[in-house]
Structures are given as C-alpha cells and as structure tokens.
C-alpha cells in the first residue's frame, strides 16, 4: 500500500500518519526526517543540502527527490506513506517520474479536510512546558491546573509559531502551494478527502474505513 498524506498544518496529519504506518506496517517517509538523517550522516546529498540550508535557501527539488528515491530502494513489501510531500505541483510531477522508473504506483492520496478557522483555533490553543517539553491543548488536552505543567509544575508557554498571525500565514502557504497538488491528483482519480474535525480516534476510524474500501 503506497500512500500520499496531505493536509493543512495543525490538521493532525502527523499523528494519524504514525498510527497508519504502525497498523499497516508501511514505511513513513518524511522529507524533514530524511534531510536531518542525510545531513547527520554526511551523505553526498546531505552535504549538498546543508549548503543551501546554511545559506538560508530552500533545498532544491532535485535533492529532495534524490533522497526520496534512495529511501524507496529500501521500502519493504508493506509499502510507504509520503508524509507532507509533495508540496508543489512540480514536485508531484517529478515524483511521478521517479515512481514510474522504480515500478511503484500510488494507491491513494489522503487529504485531511479541516476548515481554516478550526485550524487557527487548534494551533493557537497549544501550550508547552519549558522544562520537560510536554505539550498540552487548552481544549482537547488541558493541564490539571490551569497554566501549569502536570509533571513539572512549570508555567506553560505558547510557541512563537502558534500565534494567530503565523498560523494564518502558514494557512496561506498551504492554500497557494499545496491545494493545486490536490487538483493534480484528482485528475488521476487518487484523491480521497477525510473530514478532519472531531477526536483523533474518530478521524482515524474514518481513515481506516476508507482504506479498506480503496486498497485491497
């Protein structure tokens, strides 16, 4: 089973992706993880990518695709899940070429659908303990004592990238860059949208039901 998993920041995509990979024994391929791994290991691609990062530039698509291609060589029978990639239509087109060369095909493109206002509400309600790093959510997972970590008793803080202005900016990037990818895959009849509202377990139930119907 080979999947692409897309969704706006804050939709809960990362959590659901981890559960899917565990339950279905598929490899989770995250470009962020691949970048960090290649850079730490000093691979040729990692060394080249690190140059761009240190200069404050985006890592070129061809390097990202190269890392994914190398990773796919080790994909086991269970398949893979591309987490948050591709991010642009040119990346999707380049990925199609690589997959064809390696005799892989995408079974489904899962899209977590969550309204922008809901995303803003979710992300701006996140809080973190500065001592142990434990995360809380004022609505879904609040601390026992308001404003204090259950473990350390430290005063919780809001990450800089969880303020309303930053969250809305990330939403705009998603709308402008990622949504065209959905249309790209819709032309291939691969897109399946899932209502991302509700509890994590309820959303995961919807995802599993969908996979049972489309992947046999």
Residues belonging to the active site: 13, 87, 126, 159, 170
Evaluate whether 166 touches 160 at the Cβ level (below 8 Å). yes
Residue 110 near residue 194 (C-beta atoms within 8 A): yes
User: What beta strand segments (E) does 99-153 contain?
Assistant: 108-113, 126-128, 135-137
Closest CA to 92 of 59, 71, 58, 65: 65
Nearest Cα neighbor of 107 from 196, 203, 23, 26 is 26
Cα(28)–Cα(51) distance, integer angstroms: 26
- CA–chain centroid gap for 22, Å, is 16
Residue 159 C-beta-side C-alpha neighbours within 13 Å: 16
Question: Are the C-beta atoms of 27 and 80 separated by less than 8 Å?
Answer: yes
With contact defined as beta carbons under 8 Å apart, do 86 and 181 qualify?
Answer: yes
């Amino acid at each position: 089973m080979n999947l692409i998993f897309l969704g706006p920041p804050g939709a809960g995509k990362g959590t659901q992706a981890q559960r899917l990979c565990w339950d279905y024994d598929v490899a989770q391929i995250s470009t962020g993880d691949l970048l960090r791994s290649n850079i730490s290991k000093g691979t040729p691609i990692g060394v080249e990518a690190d140059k761009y990062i240190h200069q404050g530039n985006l890592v070129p698509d061809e390097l990202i695709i190269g890392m994914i291609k190398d990773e796919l060589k080790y994909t086991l029978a269970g398949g893979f899940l591309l987490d948050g990639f591709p991010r642009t239509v040119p990346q999707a087109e380049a990925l199609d070429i690589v997959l064809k060369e390696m005799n892989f095909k995408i079974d489904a493109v899962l899209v977590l659908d969550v309204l922008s206002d809901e995303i803003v509400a979710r992300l701006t309600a996140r809080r973190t303990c500065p001592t142990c790093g434990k995360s809380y959510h004022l609505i879904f997972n609040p601390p026992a004592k308001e404003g204090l970590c259950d473990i350390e008793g430290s005063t919780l803080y809001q990450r800089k990238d969880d303020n309303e202005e930053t969250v809305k900016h990330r939403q705009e990037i998603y709308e402008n860059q990622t949504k065209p990818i959905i249309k790209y895959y819709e032309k291939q009849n691969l897109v399946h949208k899932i209502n991302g509202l509700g509890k994590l377990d309820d959303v995961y139930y919807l995802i599993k039901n969908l996979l049972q119907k489309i992947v046999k």
